[in-house]
Amino acid sequence: MKTFSIPVLSFALLSAAPLLADTPAASQAPPTSTPAATATGKESIPSVDSLVNQSFSLLINIQQTLAAAQDKESADKAAKTLEGIQKDIKHFQDIMNKLNDAEQEKAFELLEKMEERGKRLEESCKQEGKRLVKADFYNSTALKDVMNNSDEFSEFIEQDEEEGGPAAGGDEQEEE
């Protein structure tokens, strides 16, 4: 069985996996298609189609949250929103790991069909991340911390080696 240990929604662009990153839910609230627990005490697992759609919804929500940070107040608010998204990501990582082989394969196939959309969304998140780094996160320690210290979001502020310099500020040069 394939496992899903790739940080959040990289859609395997930053990994060796074929295409499936951890497939999270929308961050606003627990997904309506995933009841908390049934009378038997077991969590109902949403369909693979639903999980894939929710992963795109989450990536859109991340992009919109990053774009909304325009000053210190909105950057602090974005940090709180991203912390909530992290909880949803962890929840859906657990769900994805519970899928059987056939369901996991179907998820890979669906994501492969939507690869271009995933790449565009991820690139948009990276552009917003670069903007935030350039603005020094609008002096929001909370946003800087969540972006720098989370597996889920740090990839959106990493700079390409060609661009030079560390992503989060602070020149680190080796001296010999």
Is the pLDDT at 121 greater than 60? The verdict is yes
Within-domain flag for 43? no
Mean pLDDT over residues 128-155, rounded? 96
Within-domain flag for 12? no
Within-domain flag for 26? no
Within-domain flag for 147? yes
Query: pTM score, two decimals?
Result: 0.70
Within-domain flag for 69? yes
Within-domain flag for 29? no
Lowest-confidence pick of 28-32, 48-52, 97-101, 116-120: 28-32
**Which are the contacts of 159, defined by CB distance < 8 A and separation ≥ 6?**
130, 133, 165, 166, 167
Within-domain flag for 138? yes
Question: Which 8-state DSSP code applies to residue 7?
Answer: -
Total number of domains constituting the chain? 1
Within-domain flag for 85? yes
| Structural domain of 83 | 48-156
Q: How far apart are CA 36 and CA 41, in angstroms?
A: 9
